[in-house]
Structure 1
Amino acid sequence: MNSRTTVERTSDRELVATRTFDGPARMVFEAWTKPELIMRWWAPAASGMSFLSCETDVQTGGSYRFVFGHPAFEQPMAFFGRYIEVTPPSRLVWTNDEEHEAVTTVTFEERDGKTLVVVHDLYPSKEALDGAIAAESTGAWPEQFEELDELLATLGASV
């Protein structure tokens, strides 16, 4: 399977990123839900951002809060929201309770030991998605997924 990331605007309000990872859905899902693993791939090294803290309560109705630092920021930046649906190891749905207020759905489909991950961001309006694109907050998936690939290779070696 191809491990290249694709990012596509599928409508005025939707953005979809896909990639196939080398590893079972259980392992990929854990990388999306365990704070100690999230902190190892969510903020790519090339971005210059550092992950300062990661709090998750990964259950339906639970919440998350990610705090990042960057030399260009005057103060740390927090991203937070709540989990709408958690179905291990196949589906996560959460709110993004910051500026653009998207709802993110991530599915994990295992095929022959590899996992197809589809990230679907639904924005409340065309203007919100346009704003996210202009702020470049939608363009990090390829870099993040490269970091996740590296993490999964490490986890696979340690299993």
Structure 2
Amino acid sequence: MIDTTKGFTLTREIDATPEELWTAWTDPDELAHWWHPRGVTTPRDSVTVDLRVGGAYTYTMVNDSTGDEYPTGGVYREIVPTERLVFTWGNPDDDPDDAPVVTVTFESLGELTLMTFQLQGVDGTPGDESFYDGWVSALDVLVEHAQGPHVFG
């Protein structure tokens, strides 16, 4: 089992609706646009989503400079459309019971949405050039995607 005392939380106030952010987190076409830190891309053909409790997702991030590939995946544990998404995160072959867990919530603030991202099971601190910095960068890419000249869905 994972050590839930390890982890971190990130928040963003985003100029998008909870519905738009939900789509960004659950639609394979949308995920390919942002589910990676800067300097990395996620080819659309690498993204699969079986959006149901117990369903799996996979994607592969590719380093733009080196071509190194980072297969990633997990299993959905809780799905409350436009409000809450909980899933394991790591290597697609990992035992889901031993994988870190991501919880993402969306709360309408009127014209903005408060998105809270929590990762449990791994340490992360600013400047680690690993989990924390990677997710900060990926969420920055998400914000740019959500607030850019884009139509969801």
TM bin, normalised by shorter chain, reads 0.7 to 0.9
Q: How far off its partner does 1:134 sit?
A: 5.1
Other-structure match for 1:151? 145
Contact 2:5–2:120 (8 Å) recurs in 1: no
Q: Deviations over 1:51-92 (max 9, x none)?
A: 131111122111100112224355x22111100011100000
CA RMSD of aligned residues (A): 2.7
Q: Deviations over 1:12-36 (max 9, x none)?
A: 5121011110011001111111111
TM-score of the two chains, using structure 2 as the length reference: 0.78
Kindly indicate whether residue 88 of structure 2 is the aligned counterpart of residue 95 of structure 1. Answer: yes
Pairwise mapping of residues 10-159 of structure 1 onto structure 2 (< 5 A)?
A: 12-44=5-37, 46-47=38-39, 49-52=40-43, 53-70=46-63, 71-72=65-66, 74=68, 76-98=69-91, 101-123=99-121, 128-129=122-123, 136-153=130-147, 154-155=149-150
Q: Distance in 2 between matches of 1:109 and 1:129?
A: 26
- Structure 1 unmatched ranges of 5 or more: 1-10
The code of the aligned residue for 1:17 comes to L
Q: Distance in 2 between matches of 1:54 and 1:61?
A: 17
The code of the aligned residue for 1:50 comes to T
- Structure 2 unmatched ranges of 5 or more: none
Q: How far off its partner does 1:95 sit?
A: 0.6
Identity of aligned residues (%): 24
TM-score of the two chains, using structure 1 as the length reference: 0.75
Looking at both structures, which has the greater relative contact order when contacts are Cα pairs under 8 Å and sequence separation is at least 6?
A: 2
Equivalent residue of 1:138, what SS? Answer: helix
Q: How far off its partner does 1:143 sit?
A: 2.3
